[in-house]
Structure 1
Amino acid sequence: MKKAQPRATLPVVRCAVYTRKSTDEGLEQEFNSLDAQREAGDAFVRSQAGEGWTLLPDRYDDGGFTGGNMERPALQRLLADIEAGRIDCVVVYKVDRLSRSLLDFARMMETFEKYHVSFVSVTQQFNTATSMGRLVLNVLLSFAQFEREIISERTRDKIAATRRKGKWAGGHPLLGYDVDPRGFRLVVNEAEAERVRAIFALYLEHESLLPVVQELERRGWRNKRWQTRKGRERGGKPFTRTNLHRLLTNVAYVGKIRYKHEVHNGEHPAIVDPAVFARVQALLHRNGRTRGAPVRNKFGALLKGLLRCVPCGCAMTPTHTTKDGNKRYRYYVCSSAQKRGWNTCPSKSIPAAQIEQLVVEQIRCIGKDPDLLQATITQARAQDEARLAELEAERRGLDRELARWHAELQKIPPNPVDDPTIARLADLQERIRLAEDRTGRVREEAAAIRRRRIDDDEVALALSVFDPVWESLTPAEQARVVQLLVERVDYDGARGKVSITFQPAGIKTLADELADQGGREKIA
């Protein structure tokens, strides 16, 4: 009897199904788009079981990833398994699930060919194992990339049209504003708006980014914190020079919308005075060359960092010129006039000795004139009251935040076990700790201001002792005394007026030092 021939064994084709969805919307459902794509791929592989096709158990699912690049975890794992020789065929629902970039797809095809891996699209019915399949694939991929580029152009055009109408076109929410959930527009968050205005004021005070960053860290202030539509917390990071500069240059705070190099009037209200914003931009521009580092004061300019040009709203910087061999003439020059031309500023420049002598004489006169003395006391007290009001507003804001976070803390179970809840608990506890620390510092600063409030006798003592002591001081000591007493000197060249703003804390410090035995040594 003739023996039966054994049936030929077909080679096994190990198939991997790759799935992708551009957004993560709907992925929380029990049966989502990725499941549907894998089910279609599974059915196709089973239909080819007679050819030796078998489905690998590993899942290669990229949910929430664009097809415009290859930065996808499941795709990278798929390519690694191909290079390791674990895959013979890649199955997708449609070509654009694998890639929408012709260049990226060409690179993947090189990898597929190198490791003898075929590629199959279920709905478009082609196989790259044949020349016709490769031709159809290239045509389909070209159209997929064309569609992607058209979508990108439409999106850019829509954003441009939206912003040119002054509308909020999306992006991360800004500190000082909330996004109205009923419409794509910005509404003012009053508590945050106060902080934004305080940040601008701090920069005008320090005229450098780093000291402001350090002060914001001391206060425990953070960037905007918000929740995504899925309830995830975002933002709330500490300030750095980079994000502080971004905040200070954002035209949204003066009611504008920027699109590339264009600036348009926005629908949302401004929360920063345009004049303040302009002064900050001028300072940032000036500091661009020195990064805000202090400039050396070679010739003892008493008013360096104090004198400001009123018409231009910018600093007046010390400079000098040498004539007749070695005779030096010192000036204070408007920094805006230096950059934009002398005709743009009515102040232009002023001899240093003249303005310095005027300020010193004004300080001397205050000690001798009861009316001027009383006006100085009133001004100093007004500054204290303004700072106390600012601290009180900050304290109220901190109290509101603490109440909200404590209420949220009460909703968390006593012994959470899942990682998101544990992370949220730790985040709330850290925020509460920082807010409580800042609240304590705010109260301490307010108490210190109340303790240091000067009375008539202290001001009279400081300014009466100033006159006889002044001439015996060295230039460095004189500069320190002026910096102690004076907060700002405003010079209006158009009207020929000079106004001096005093520092109440400095007056008290000088009074304490000069009243002691050997006060001159303490000034140094």
Structure 2
Amino acid sequence: MRKARATAPPASPALRCAIYTRKSTEEGLDQDFNTLDAQREAAEAFIRSQRGEGWEVLPERYDDGGFSGGNMDRPALQRLLVDIEAGRVNAVVVYKVDRLSRSLLDFSRIMEVLDQHRVAFVSVTQQFNTATSMGRLVLHILLSFAQFEREMIAERTRDKMSAARRKGKWVGGKPFLGYDIDPRGGRLLVNEDEAHQVRAIFDLYLREQSLVATAVELNRRGWRTKAWTTKRGRVNEGTPFNKVNLHGLLSNVAYTGQVSHKGTIYPGEQPAIVDPAVWRKTQEVLRHNGRTGGRSVRNKHGALLKELLRCNPCDSAMIHSYTVREGKHYRYYVCLKAQKRGWSSCPTKAVPAAEVERFVVDRIRAIGTDPAVVGKTLAAARAEHAEAVRRIEADRQVEEGALRRLNTDLRRLMDSGGE
């Protein structure tokens, strides 16, 4: 009688594992072996230990360096969710739970996606099984502590920065014209060439008393805002001056050797490069022009087409303005680009406001009498409203589902007597 031939047990189906890594800051990411690499190495080692169960690492990297875990606005996380929904992932492996999220609500939403697509979730350093009620309860407790830790860190950081500002220290941010950041950190150093430009800008504005005219002259000279290089070597070029960045420069109290924090002025550690009397005079002119509009008077009479008109040649917004001649107000819509960068920057200067508004109103009245247009408009409005309701209902169901699961886990734990 022939002996039966032994057969090998069937191989376990492949479990495609996506490794997700995250670090809140960019510090140290330029190193040859950084914390993201360390997280991935630990996850790969864990997956290798499960090779007999069919686990395998996907080659795609999902690394979010310099992104907070307090929200879901992370490019690698969004790519991971897309791949999960496309069926390309069977398990998500992280070093710690808080690498995926520090927010209970966000984590519940992510777990909802994983559950819908039957994707497992594994934390290398925190062993639990999300298939059991106890495992899910432990997971929620871990996330609660992670969220609490994030909020405490944020609170301590705010307190530390507030204390540093009150002491006049530089607490970071983008450098501004006239100063360089000390490579050792914590303070500003005077850039003499730029400081000369800053003083000239204040003098020019006090002479012109117009942000637009001053910006036009600065750009004619070829002057630009601050150019600087980040710690990671990324170069930020200076940009042409306009009303917004010029107003920010002229309003910066740091040029007088002081710092501002929550409306209070404190002595700063950086040397002053603008005479305080000149700075105060500049603020008076800025405030006066803010009330009267300076040479480009702000609209005090309403603008029917405010934020609706666009300049045809350059596609900039058309803003409302007016002039006074012989006691009469004449309203116009003015190209924003031309107003900010000078009238030579765009062929469109200004158009009479009353004529444009009359034309638009007449057209709207004509459209409003067309039954087909009215019907389509109402249908579109109803569809938009229905979609908004659908999104709100979906969010509500996600949150209620997470709450129900947590309550169920708590009841089971209490019924089992903590076993």
Given that 2:84 and 2:117 are in contact with CA atoms closer than 8 Å, whether structure 1 keeps it comes out as: yes
AA in 1 matched with 2:254: A
Q: Which residue of 1 aligns with 2:187?
A: 185
2:164 is equivalent to residue 170 of structure 1: no
Query: Which piece of structure 1 moves more, 120-129 or 32-41?
Result: 32-41
- Give SS of 1:269's match: coil
1:70 deviates by 2.0
Once residues 164 and 39 of structure 1 are traced to their aligned partners in structure 2, the CA distance between those partners, rounded to angstroms, is 43
Q: Which residue of 2 aligns with 1:210?
A: 212
Identity of aligned residues (%): 66
* 1:275–1:113 distance in 2 versus 1, CA, 3 Å: same
Once residues 123 and 163 of structure 2 are traced to their aligned partners in structure 1, the CA distance between those partners, rounded to angstroms, is 38
2:242 is equivalent to residue 243 of structure 1: no
* 1:290–1:49 distance in 2 versus 1, CA, 3 Å: same
Once residues 168 and 26 of structure 1 are traced to their aligned partners in structure 2, the CA distance between those partners, rounded to angstroms, is 22
2:134 is equivalent to residue 135 of structure 1: no
1:201-231 superposed Cα distances (whole Å, 9 cap, x missing partner): 2222222211111111111111111222343
* 1:289–1:106 distance in 2 versus 1, CA, 3 Å: farther
Q: TM-score, normalised by structure 2?
A: 0.66
Given that 1:69 and 1:101 are in contact with CA atoms closer than 8 Å, whether structure 2 keeps it comes out as: yes
Given that 2:17 and 2:89 are in contact with CA atoms closer than 8 Å, whether structure 1 keeps it comes out as: yes
AA in 2 matched with 1:90: V
1:252 deviates by 0.6
Equivalent residues in 2 for 1:361-510 (5 A)?
none
Q: Which residue of 2 aligns with 1:199?
A: 201
Given that 2:17 and 2:58 are in contact with CA atoms closer than 8 Å, whether structure 1 keeps it comes out as: yes
AA in 2 matched with 1:216: L
Q: Which residue of 1 aligns with 2:51?
A: 49
1:329-362 superposed Cα distances (whole Å, 9 cap, x missing partner): xxxxxxxxxxxxxxxxxxxxxxxxxxxxxxxxxx
Q: Which residue of 2 aligns with 1:451?
A: none
- Give SS of 1:191's match: helix
Residue number among 61, 75, 78 corresponding to 1:73 in the alignment: 75
AA in 2 matched with 1:262: T
AA in 2 matched with 1:97: R
Once residues 231 and 16 of structure 2 are traced to their aligned partners in structure 1, the CA distance between those partners, rounded to angstroms, is 40
AA in 2 matched with 1:112: L
Given that 2:179 and 2:190 are in contact with CA atoms closer than 8 Å, whether structure 1 keeps it comes out as: yes
1:113 deviates by 1.4
Once residues 29 and 262 of structure 1 are traced to their aligned partners in structure 2, the CA distance between those partners, rounded to angstroms, is 40
* 1:123–1:161 distance in 2 versus 1, CA, 3 Å: same
2:36 is equivalent to residue 15 of structure 1: no
Once residues 253 and 143 of structure 1 are traced to their aligned partners in structure 2, the CA distance between those partners, rounded to angstroms, is 43
Q: Which residue of 1 aligns with 2:397?
A: none
Given that 2:70 and 2:103 are in contact with CA atoms closer than 8 Å, whether structure 1 keeps it comes out as: yes
Segments of structure 1 that go 5 or more residues without pairing to the other structure are: 301-524
Once residues 183 and 8 of structure 2 are traced to their aligned partners in structure 1, the CA distance between those partners, rounded to angstroms, is 71
Once residues 218 and 155 of structure 1 are traced to their aligned partners in structure 2, the CA distance between those partners, rounded to angstroms, is 43
1:84 deviates by 0.3
Q: Which residue of 2 aligns with 1:314?
A: none
Once residues 172 and 51 of structure 2 are traced to their aligned partners in structure 1, the CA distance between those partners, rounded to angstroms, is 50
Q: TM-score, normalised by structure 1?
A: 0.54
Q: Which residue of 1 aligns with 2:277?
A: 275
Given that 1:34 and 1:63 are in contact with CA atoms closer than 8 Å, whether structure 2 keeps it comes out as: yes
AA in 1 matched with 2:98: D
* 1:297–1:79 distance in 2 versus 1, CA, 3 Å: closer
Q: Which residue of 2 aligns with 1:425?
A: none
* 1:32–1:184 distance in 2 versus 1, CA, 3 Å: closer
* 1:164–1:29 distance in 2 versus 1, CA, 3 Å: closer
1:14 deviates by 1.7
- Give SS of 2:214's match: helix
Residue number among 154, 157, 160 corresponding to 1:155 in the alignment: 157
* 1:249–1:8 distance in 2 versus 1, CA, 3 Å: same
Q: Which residue of 2 aligns with 1:37?
A: 39
Once residues 77 and 169 of structure 2 are traced to their aligned partners in structure 1, the CA distance between those partners, rounded to angstroms, is 38
Structure having greater relative contact order (Cα 8 Å, sep ≥ 6): 2
* 1:21–1:294 distance in 2 versus 1, CA, 3 Å: closer
Q: Which residue of 2 aligns with 1:502?
A: none
Segments of structure 2 that go 5 or more residues without pairing to the other structure are: 298-322, 328-419
1:40 deviates by 1.6
Q: Which residue of 2 aligns with 1:261?
A: 263
Given that 2:30 and 2:232 are in contact with CA atoms closer than 8 Å, whether structure 1 keeps it comes out as: no
Given that 2:90 and 2:118 are in contact with CA atoms closer than 8 Å, whether structure 1 keeps it comes out as: yes
Q: Which residue of 2 aligns with 1:396?
A: none
Once residues 10 and 182 of structure 2 are traced to their aligned partners in structure 1, the CA distance between those partners, rounded to angstroms, is 69
Given that 1:121 and 1:127 are in contact with CA atoms closer than 8 Å, whether structure 2 keeps it comes out as: no
Bigger radius of gyration: 1
1:186 deviates by 2.1
AA in 2 matched with 1:65: F
Given that 1:166 and 1:265 are in contact with CA atoms closer than 8 Å, whether structure 2 keeps it comes out as: yes
- Give SS of 1:127's match: coil
